[in-house]
Amino acid sequence: MPRFTVLLSLLLTWSLLAGCAGMQPPAAAPAPFADARFAPPRDKVGADDLFTLSPAMRAYLNSHAFTVQLRQLGQHRGLVAALYSKSDLKLQYESSKTRTAAETYADRSGNCLSLVIMTAAFAKELGMPVRYRSVDVDDAWSRSAGLYLASAHVNISLGQRAESGVRSSDQDDMLLVDFIPQDAAARLRAREVDEQDIVALYLNNRAAEMLVQDRIDDAYWWARAAVAKRPGMLRALNTLGVIYEKHGDMLLAEQTYRAALEREPENMAVMRNLQPVLARLGKQEEAAALARRIASIEPYPPYHHFDQGMIALRAGDYGKARDLFEREVRRAPYNDEFRFWLGVSHLQLGELGHAREQIAKAVDTSTRQEMRQVYSAKLAHLRRASAALAPIR
């Protein structure tokens, strides 16, 4: 299921909010910037070319195949069919990097934000009205390089909204483009956001991706750009706070997390990030009170059952491991890591059919190409397995 990015750390419970959603709340105290503490960025930071069409994209717009799609299906549906049919561009969902429109087209892959950006770039070039939507879905957590990543979701609609009471004969009006099944997308609650929100989300995602690569200085400049673009975006503030914390600037981290909580006082990711910062600053009573508050709201944080399941698996208690992985899968059914290790626990118990089923679902739900390849190799091994099962390690 296509989603977006948010961060949290293993040791310090960092929770970074990036991804497809989380827009502009009421104004509050500004976040602090600390440019002098960070080295200049290694590469250019910004979003000036975010929607810019490459020469290859323009050539595609003028191609015979593209023109035929528009003529046969109409402008809106023809664009979607041309971009996302399996016989043409063959775009793949891939979450490791948030790309510009041109990068998404060149790589033939992207996460949901990248695909929204590329779709918008083509639509705007064709003179179509576009509307961006933040979709209300539960955050889906993943983990990479010691950081927890929470994903949100955005989609896009093409065309003009019909005026109230007016019947339109244009069947293309407000065509919803989503990267989850259309019937599911139509049932989800969503709110419109403007293009500057999309730009800020792109900047924030790039900051999160720099953090995963341990490029803290570069991450700062991307997060700074996101906060400057949308000072009230909680996800960007939280990302900046994580960067300060990881950089050792605890006072700045505290100040930034508090600015985020002014906008959303019950945000669990920010509270979990702030709590260890307060402890490190010697504010033990406040840290303890916040820890109790967090535990009362969410006693089992993301990955709690999974981590306990991995302990049980290493100890050879495969039944307990299976039960714990199943608990985590129930609350995060699209997490490929949970599915894979649930499959491993089934395999160790000799439950080959269940093992195949879960590892196949890990392949289907993974958003990273390299992990799909790993899971596919394990699944192929299982399918070749005979009565004598070799454990997967």
pLDDT in tens, 212-229: 999 999 999 999 999 999
3-state SS class at 109: strand
Q: What is the pLDDT of residue 184?
A: 52
Distance CA(5)–CA(10), nearest Å, equals 16
Q: What is the pLDDT of residue 29?
A: 59
Q: How far is CA 320 from the centre of its chain?
A: 30
Question: Furthest-apart CA pair in the chain: how many Å?
Answer: 69
For 125-189, strand residue ranges (E) read: 130-144, 147-158, 175-177
pLDDT in tens, 28-80: 556 789 999 999 999 999 999 999 999 999 999 999 989 998 999 998 899 98
Has residue 87 got a pLDDT over 90?
Answer: no
**For residue 184, what are the contacts with CB-CB under 8 A and spacing of at least 6?**
none
Rounded to two decimals, what is the model's pTM? 0.81
Q: What is the pLDDT of residue 254?
A: 97
For residue 135, the cross-strand partners are 153, 190
Token reading at 122: 């083509």
Q: What is the pLDDT of residue 207?
A: 96
User: Residue 305's pLDDT band (boundaries 50, 70, 90)?
Assistant: very high
Has residue 302 got a pLDDT over 60?
Answer: yes
The chain-wide mean pLDDT, for the chain, equals: 83
What mean pLDDT is predicted for residues 232-252? 95
Distance CA(316)–CA(321), nearest Å, equals 9
Amino acid identity, residue 255?
Q
Q: What is the pLDDT of residue 319?
A: 96
Q: Which domains are assigned to the chain?
A: 1-160+171-301 (1.25.40.10), 304-384 (1.25.40.10)
Q: What is the pLDDT of residue 128?
A: 93
pLDDT in tens, 130-162: 999 888 666 666 676 667 766 778 889 998 654
Q: What is the pLDDT of residue 371?
A: 82
Has residue 176 got a pLDDT over 90?
Answer: no
Has residue 164 got a pLDDT over 70?
Answer: no
Distance CA(221)–CA(204), nearest Å, equals 10
